[in-house]
Chain A
Amino acid sequence: MNLKPWIAVAVIGMAGVAIAQDNSTLSIDGETFVTETDAPAHLENVSTIYSGWRFRTPETQALQVDDFDNPAMIFVDQGIDLFNAVDGTEGKSCASCHTDGPEEFAGLHAKMPKVVDGKLVVMEDLINTHRQDVMGAEPWKWSGADMQAMVALIGLQSRGMPMDVAIDGDAAPFWEKGKEIYYTRYGQLELSCSNCHENNYGNMIRADHLSQGQINGFPTYRLKQAKLISRHNRFRGCIRDTRAETFAEGSEEFKALELYVASRANGLDIETPAVRQ
């Protein structure tokens, strides 16, 4: 009787070893990406981190190795148009101030989210703040096509650079809050992020191959939804699926969670815009 739970645990453990991430190498236009590396020091229960790309089928993986095949690039092109489009009361476009073009933002994505003047800000905040305060334009909806096209365009400028968000100093309290959310078991199914993406990555849940839930490829083109998906939209979908009341996109909770989840990818190369199932 006392032994039985341990039998169950042993079987779960074996299942985890039997099927896991694959051994494929991600290379885009001749550049090889780090999709597997030692976990950052702050991670207590995982020794190696893997890109979500490593958990996808060969067919889905193939869509990301050539930018001509990557369906997200259509939206990046729209982002370039938006970058140059005048909008708002001041008669300005992004390009009016950022005269070197989107390339000016190389490296920014790797450091996001970050704390500015005591507030945790993510890329969507930076974009909307500049639209409102500098351009006199209406803010974009968090997961709207315009917003995510711009987030993807800016993220692409850092593609191939390792994620490197700060978790200490001003960021520490936000990071701690995000970590608490990550390990909280929400909803009637009482599932935390960690239950699936830390305890069970590599395992199948129904037809889904569970990854580590890394966000270094976001915004990502999700085949299921046929558009660019924001980080907060994916967080919302996961929490909803635990039969819980979700947090809102752009909420302080999701910004904190984004910082914590981004920090779990520190060391993985940015793949934005990735392609997922």
Chain B
Amino acid sequence: MKYGIGLGLAAALTASVVSAEAVKPTAVVFEDGAIASSLSGTPGDAANGAILMNKGSGNCIACHSVEALSDLPFHGEVGPPLDGVADRWNEAELRGIVADAKMMFDGTVMPSFYKTNGFIRLGDAYTGKAHGDGEVQPLLTAQEIEDVVAFLVTLKFE
């Protein structure tokens, strides 16, 4: 019995370590613009993904319209509408596009949400000041990418 608890605890610890071990932005492997497996190791939360579509560093609807989020005002027109996006792209492709759309569409206007280097005059968020020497955080965390992707795969016409 004692032994059993110990095993269970060990298993739980291992699981939490695995889920915390996200793929670093600089270590992401793209294949034809797609990312085959989860960046966080934890399944995405579509409900949180829907929130990120409207808020914070996601703010996807600033540029894309989404019928499923029509209760929110001011959907943009810079990018294509996302209705039925899961009919056009599979999960790996959507993950790749959200993480770094430039890998799929060369020269696209879309910002790269899981990227931390290669910027010109990188600022400290929206202050207008230089970023400084600290570690650069991607616009979305690995788990937030997974959450957004989990929401996007629900956008089907069928």
Nearest-neighbour CB distance to chain A for B2, whole angstroms, equals 51
List the A side residues contacting B80 at CB < 8 Å: 7-8, 11-12, 15
User: Of B32, B78, B121, B130, which contacts A205 at CB under 8 A?
Assistant: B78
Give the distance in Å from the alpha carbon of A153 to the alpha carbon of B105 in the complex.
47
The smallest beta-carbon distance between A145 and chain B, in angstroms, is 21
Contact flag A245-B121 (CB < 8 Å), given A188-B139, A240-B127: yes
Check: B104 CB closer than 8 A to any chain A CB: yes
The answer to whether residues A187 and B73 also contact, given A8-B80, A11-B81, A245-B128 and a CB cut-off of 8 A, is no
Q: Given contacts A7-B88, A204-B77, A244-B122, is CB(A190)–CB(B128) below 8 Å?
A: no
Residues of B within 8 A of A242 (CB): 123
Q: Does B109 contact A (CB under 8 A)?
A: yes
Q: Are A12 and B79 in contact (CB under 8 A)?
A: yes
Which single member of B61, B111, B124, B136 contacts A189 (CB below 8 Å)? B111
Which of A5, A188, A205, A239 contacts B111, CB < 8 Å?
A: A188
Shortest distance between the CB of B63 and any CB in chain A (Å): 6
B74 touches A204 (CB 8 A): yes
What count of chain B residues pass the 8 Å CB interface test? 36
Q: Which residues of chain A (34-55) have a CB below 8 Å from chain B?
A: none
CB pair B74 A207 closer than 8 Å: yes
Please, how many angstroms separate the alpha-carbon atoms of A16 and B136 in the complex? 34
**A116 — which chain B residues lie within 8 A by C-beta?**
none
Distance of B90 from chain A, by nearest CB (Å): 10
In the complex, A204 Cα to B120 Cα: how many Å?
26
Interface residues of B, Cβ cutoff 8 Å to A: 32, 59, 61-63, 73-81, 88-89, 104-105, 109, 111-112, 119-131, 136, 139
Known: A207-B73, A243-B123, A245-B131. 12 other contacts (CB 8 A): A5-B104, A8-B80, A18-B77, A19-B77, A186-B121, A191-B111, A200-B78, A203-B77, A206-B76, A236-B128, A244-B119, A246-B123
> A: which residues have CB within 8 A of B?
1, 4-5, 7-8, 11-12, 15-16, 18-19, 184-191, 195-196, 199-200, 203-207, 210, 236, 239-246
Nearest 7 pairs of A and B residues by beta carbon:
A240-B128, A11-B80, A203-B77, A245-B130, A207-B74, A206-B62, A246-B128
Residue pairs across A and B with Cβ atoms less than 8 A apart, 27 shown, are A5-B104, A7-B88, A8-B80, A8-B105, A11-B80, A19-B77, A186-B120, A186-B121, A187-B121, A187-B122, A188-B111, A188-B136, A189-B139, A191-B109, A196-B78, A200-B78, A203-B76, A204-B77, A204-B78, A206-B62, A207-B74, A236-B128, A239-B121, A240-B123, A244-B121, A244-B123, A246-B121
